């Protein structure tokens, strides 16, 4: 039997229950993974609370979509991994557990220079930053980028990496307490997105030109202001909705804002193909090795304390990545 945190239904943190689960032996193509570090993401909160829409899931469910660990058993037909291999995964629900069964095709082999804790902190967040900075808009030297929630898990990696690519980085945060974290992540300028007119401030910082790209994970509260930050033909990347979904819009707005582009990407598109997933993960590992990004763990907790972690994440008290130890 192993211990896991399972929901009793959709709802508040009180639905998170510690349960014992019998896992059985790995099936064909699967491995049994002993998890040593589990990443926490805002999507876990959406999975816990949603009753309809894209994040609604069936309950009871073991939440969590990323972790790192060591392979303990191998099922039939697994040839590319061995017992004892250190691996991680992302976007495979069921991470809040001591051990789990998982398809070998979803595993990413960890290099020596990335610890299990770092891997759990950077699979979802680092791979997201990688595809946003290289696939959705290829950030290049001399560009100016705006990153909302710059002190957050994805935000800190985005800022560091964009800076390493030679961009000027304007970050926004929701409270003065988060300004130092955004600065430490490489922001040249840090603004408060919920006080005053951040678009006017961005215009002033860019001598009226606007930024080349906006990475917006806040959604409803910042969407229109973000469009006003763009240069003509700039790229608006709406990759999250921490404040709520952006309401349906008339696409002629994009013309009015300067013939701008709009992207609404999701990590799920990029992790479907194991080769693409591993290439994106390798990009993150190489960025760590080159010193382009540092994987700082802002908060550590025991898996048993995940309810308190969810509460802190929802109330915007956390900065950087959070890792749970089973
Ligand atoms: N599309 C994708 O592929 C993809 C992949 C991974 C994550 N995401 C999205 O990326 C975002 C960042 O994820 P993360 O796990 O790293 O979380 P996070 O950024 O560490 O936490 C969310 C942050 O959003 C800001 N925020 C603004 N308004 C908020 C509100 N009403 N409620 C809660 N937070 C609010 C807060 O920062 P301030 O206090 O500074 O405002 C908060 O700390 C999330 O929106 C997530 O869904 C998207």
pLDDT digits (tens, 9 = 90+) for 262-301: 999 999 999 999 999 999 999 999 999 999 999 989 999 9
The answer, yes or no, to whether residue 217 has pLDDT greater than 90, is yes
Per CATH, the homologous superfamily of domain 2-114+295-325 is Medium-chain alcohol dehydrogenases, catalytic domain (3.90.180.10)
* Pocket lining: 152 vs ligand 1, CB cutoff 6 Å: yes
Q: How far apart are CA 157 and CA 320, in angstroms?
A: 9
pLDDT at site 150: 98
Rounded to the nearest integer, the mean pLDDT of the chain is: 97
Which H or E element spans position 184? helix 179-184
CA-CA-CA-CA torsion sign (54, 60, 61, 62): positive
How crowded is the C-beta side of 40, counted as CA atoms within 13 Å?
30
Residue 293: other Cβ atoms inside 10 A? 26
Residue bearing tokens 């990545």:
321
Q: What pLDDT does residue 220 have?
A: 98
The pLDDT tens digits of the residues spanning 297-326 come to: 999 999 999 999 999 999 999 988 999 999
Q: Is the CB of 155 under 6 A from ligand 1?
A: yes
List the residue whose alpha carbon is closest to atom 35 of ligand 1: 242
What confidence tens digit (pLDDT) does each residue in 11-61 have?
A: 999 999 999 999 999 999 999 999 999 999 999 999 999 999 989 999 999
| pTM listed for this prediction | 0.97
Judged by DSSP in three states, 97 sits in strand
Do 151 and 182 contact (CB within 8 A), yes or no? yes
Taking Cα atoms as reference points, which of 230, 237, 224 lies closest to residue 211? 230
Secondary structure percentages of the chain, helix, strand, coil, to 5: 35, 25, 40
Mean pLDDT throughout 234-249? 96
Cα 117 to middle of ligand 1, angstroms:
20
Is residue 195's pLDDT more than 90? yes
For residue 46, which atom of ligand 1 is closest to its CA? 47
User: Where in the chain are the domains?
Assistant: 2-114+295-325, 126-267
**Structure confidence at residue 75 as a pLDDT band (50, 70, 90):** very high
pLDDT in tens, 153-171: 999 999 999 999 999 999 9
For domain 126-267, the question of CATH label 3.40.190.10 is answered with no
* Nearest-angstrom CA–CA distance, 121 and 141: 27
What is the whole-number distance in angstroms between the Cα of residue 219 and the centre of ligand 1? 9
163 lines ligand 1 (CB under 6 A): no
171 and 147 Cβ atoms separated by less than 8 Å: yes
47 CA to centre of ligand 1 in angstroms: 14
pLDDT per residue as tens digits for the range 206-215: 999 999 999 9
Q: What percent of the chain has pLDDT above 90?
A: 98
Q: Is the CB–ligand 1 distance for residue 217 below 6 Å? A: yes
83 Cα to the center of ligand 1, angstroms: 36
pLDDT digits (tens, 9 = 90+) for 94-107: 999 999 999 999 99
CA–centroid distance, 55 to ligand 1, in Å, is 15
Specify the pLDDT at position 16.
98
pLDDT score, position 296: 85
> Would you put residue 178 in left (φ > 0), alpha (ψ -120 to 50) or beta?
alpha
C-beta separation of 269 from 242 below 8 A: no
Give the H or E element holding residue 4: strand 2-7
pLDDT above 90 (res 178)? yes
The CB of 89 under 6 Å from ligand 1? The reply is: no
């Amino acid at each position: 039997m192993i211990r896991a945190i399972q929901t009793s239904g959709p709802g508040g943190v009180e639905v998170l229950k510690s349960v014992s689960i019998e896992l059985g032996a790995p099936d064909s193509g699967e491995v049994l993974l002993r998890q040593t570090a589990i990443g926490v993401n805002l999507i876990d909160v959406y999975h816990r609370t949603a009753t309809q829409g894209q994040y609604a899931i069936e309950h009871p469910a073991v939440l969590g979509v990323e972790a790192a660990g060591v392979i303990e058993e191998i099922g039939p037909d697994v040839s590319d991994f061995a017992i004892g291999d250190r691996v991680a995964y992302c976007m495979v629900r069921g991470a809040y557990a001591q051990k789990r069964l998982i398809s070998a095709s979803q595993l990413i082999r960890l290099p020596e220079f990335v610890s299990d804790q770092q891997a759990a902190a950077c699979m979802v967040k680092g791979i997201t930053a990688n595809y946003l900075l290289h696939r959705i808009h290829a950030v290049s030297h001399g560009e100016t980028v705006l990153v909302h929630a710059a002190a957050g898990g994805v935000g800190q990696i985005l800022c560091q990496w964009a800076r390493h690519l030679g961009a000027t980085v304007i970050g926004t945060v929701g409270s003065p307490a988060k300004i130092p974290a955004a600065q430490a992540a490489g922001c040249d300028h840090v603004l408060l997105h919920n006080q005053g007119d951040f678009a006017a401030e961005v215009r002033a910082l860019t001598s009226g030109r606007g930024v080349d790209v906006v990475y917006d994970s806040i959604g409803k509260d910042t969407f229109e202001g973000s469009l006003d930050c763009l240069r003509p033909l700039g790229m608006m990347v709406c990759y999250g909705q921490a404040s709520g979904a952006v309401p349906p819009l008339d696409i002629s707005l994009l013309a009015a804002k300067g013939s701008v582009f709009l992207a609404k990407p999701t990590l799920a598109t990029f992790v479907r193909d194991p080769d693409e997933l591993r290439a994106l993960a390798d990009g993150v590992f190489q960025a760590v090795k080159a010193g382009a990004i540092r994987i700082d763990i802002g908060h550590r907790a025991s898996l048993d304390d995940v309810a308190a972690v969810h509460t802190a994440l929802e109330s915007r008290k956390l900065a950087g990545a959070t890792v749970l130890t089973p």
